[in-house]
Chain A
Amino acid sequence: MNRDTRRTRVLLALLLVTSISLITIDYRGGDSSPLDGVRSAAAAVFGPVEKVAAAIASPVSDAVDSVSNLGNGQDEVARLKKQNQELKRRLRTGALDRHRAQELDDLLHLAGAGRYKIVPARVIAIGTAQTFSWTVTLDAGSRDGLRPDMTVLNGDGLVGRVKTVGPSTATVLLAVDPESSVGVRLESTMEVGFTTGHGAHHDLDLQLLDGQSTVERGDRLVTFGSQGDMPYVPGVPVGSVVSVTGTPGSQTRSATVSPYVDFTSLDLVGVVVQPPRADPRDAVLPPRPASTPTPTVTVTVTPKPAG
C-alpha cells in the first residue's frame, strides 16, 4: 500500500468510477434520488455527533461571533482593548446567555406579530464555502415536527427554508444561496417580485415583475407567500432596497436589497410549523423610525411705540 503499485492504480480507478457513478445516480435522481435514504441515515448517525461538537465548540464559536461583530476601524488596538474589557465584564454577568435570551425574545415577538407557530432551533453546523452552496444544520428534526419546505426565520426576518430533515437535525437552504428564489412584495406599493442571493457576504438581487413599477431606496420587502404556504409563509420581513438599477419602462426592474438577517452570525432561529390563518401583510415589519418634526420659529415683532 505504501508504493504506487499496480494494485494501487486499480484501487484508484475503482474508487474514481464509484464516485462518478454516485454523482450520476444522485444527479439523475433529482428531488427523489435513491441516495436520499443514505443521506438521512448519515444525518441520523452524524447529527448527534455535530450536536456534541457544537456544544463543545460553543464557547469558542460564541467568542468568534462576538469578535466578528466588531467591524473594522483604524483604532483597532484601542477599540479591541476596550472591547476586551467590555467582553470580560459581560462574560462575568453571563451576557452570552442574555444575548441568546434577547434573540429568543425577538423571535417570539416576530412570530407573535405574524401569528406564526414556530419551533425554535439553534444552528449547529455551517457548510463550507468551497461547496458553493449556503446551507446550515439545525438541532431540530422530524421528531420536533419539522418537514421539508418549511419557512425558517429569526427575530430579524427571513433566514431560508428547510431542505432536508433527519430525525434530530434539519438542513436549511439560506435565502442568500443562488438557488433560493423568494417571492416578495414591496411594503409601500404592493408590487410583486422575487429575490435571489449571491452568498452570505453579498446583498440580495430583486427582480420586479412589472417593468413600470416604481421602486425606491429604502423600500421594504416582506415575503409574498407561496402556494399552500410552502416553502415560504407570507409577511416575513426580508430586507430593504439599497439601490435601484435599470430604467423605468424596461422589461423588468431590478434592485439590490440588504437583508435584515445577518447571515454570517446565525444562531437562534425559528421554523414555522404552522402558517398564519390570514396574511399578516406588513404587520411584522419593524416600526418605521419616527420622523422628528422640525421646529418652526415664529417671531412676532411688536413695534415699539415711538417715544
Chain B
Amino acid sequence: MPPARVVLAVVLLTVALAVQVTLMSRLPLPGATPDLLLLVVVALALAHGPGFGLVCGFAAGLAADLVPPADHEVGRWALVLTLVGYLAGMARDQTRRSAFVPLVVVAVAGAGSVLAYAGVGALMDDPNVTWGAVRSLLPTAVVYDVVLSAFVLPAVLAVARRAEADQAAFA
C-alpha cells in the first residue's frame, strides 16, 4: 500500500468519526443518523478496491467501537464495516459503467449496515434491538446516506485521485 494512500485514509476516517459524533448526531432528523463514517469507507473502497476497502472498514469500525460515547461490544462495527468495505470495493469496476452504481452501493451499504449491526445484536440478546427500532431506522438511514453521498463520494474520490497523481509524479 502506498504510504500517501494510508495517510490520507487515516486523516479522512479520523475527521469523519469526529464530525460523526459531534455534529451529525446533533442534527434534528427523525430516525437514523447520517453515517459519514460509512460513506468515507465506501468512497475509499470504490477508489482503491476490496483489499484496501476491507482494511479501512475494519480500522474505522474498531475506532467507532472504542471511541466515546460507544457503549456496545467492541467489534460490532468492525465486523459490519469490514464487510461493507470489501463488498463496496468489489463494485469498483462497475462504477465506470454508470453514475448510478455508487448510489446503489451507498443505499445497499446503508441498509446492510443497519441490518447487520442489528443482526449481531439480536444474536447477543441486545434488549435495545427490536423490530420496531430497526424498522424506524432503516428507511431514513438509506435516504440520509444517499443524499449525503452526493457530496461526500465525489469529494473523497477527487482527493484520493489527486493524492495518487502526486504520488505518481514523485515516482
Binding site for B on A (CB under 8 A): 1-5, 7-8, 11-12, 15-16, 18-23, 25-27, 33, 35, 38-39, 42-43, 46-47, 49-50, 53-54, 57, 60-61, 64-65, 67-68, 124-133, 135-137, 163-164, 166, 169-173, 177-179, 199, 201, 264-265
Contacts and interface: CB of A to CB of B under 8 A. Distances in A.
15 contacts: A7-B51, A8-B54, A19-B79, A22-B73, A42-B63, A46-B17, A50-B18, A64-B26, A127-B25, A130-B141, A132-B72, A135-B69, A166-B68, A171-B70, A178-B127
Interface in B11-42: 14, 17-28, 30-33, 35
Q: How large is the interface on B (under 10, 10 to 19, 20 to 34, 35 or more residues)?
A: 35 or more
B70 A127 contact: yes
Contact of B32 (A1, A43, A130, A133): A130
Interface in B106-134: 113-114, 117-118, 120-121, 124, 126-130, 133
Given A19-B58, A39-B66, A133 B71 contact: yes
B132 to A, nearest CB: 9
Given A164-B68, A177-B128, A53 B22 contact: yes
A6 to B, nearest CB: 11
B26 A46 contact: no
Contacts, number: 197
B128 A132 contact: yes
B74 A22 contact: yes
- Chief secondary structure at chain B's binding surface: helix
| A18, A19, A20, A136 interface centre (most CB from chain B within 10 Å) | A19
A199 to B, nearest CB: 7
B55 interface: yes
A15 B133 contact: no
B54 to A, nearest CB: 5
Contacts of A137: 21, 68-69
A125 B22 contact: yes
Given A8-B86, A169-B68, 4 more contacts: A15-B54, A16-B82, A64-B23, A133-B128
Given A1-B51, A57-B19, A177-B128, A19 B33 contact: no
A284 B67 CA distance: 35
Given A20-B79, A23-B79, A124 B22 contact: yes
Closest 4 CB pairs of A and B: A22-B75, A68-B28, A126-B25, A42-B66
Contacts of A20: 75, 79
Contacts of B126: 132
Contacts of A166: 68
A130 B109 CA distance: 13
Contacts of B27: 64
B113 A130 contact: yes
B9 interface: no
B68 A57 contact: no
A61 B25 CA distance: 10
Contact of A130 (B28, B35, B69, B78): B35
Given A3-B49, A15-B55, A131 B83 contact: no
A37 B50 CA distance: 32
Contact of B28 (A49, A67, A125): A67
Given A20-B79, A23-B76, A129 B70 contact: no
B143 interface: no
Interface in B52-102: 52, 54-55, 58, 61-63, 65-76, 78-79, 82-83, 86, 89-90
B82 A19 contact: yes
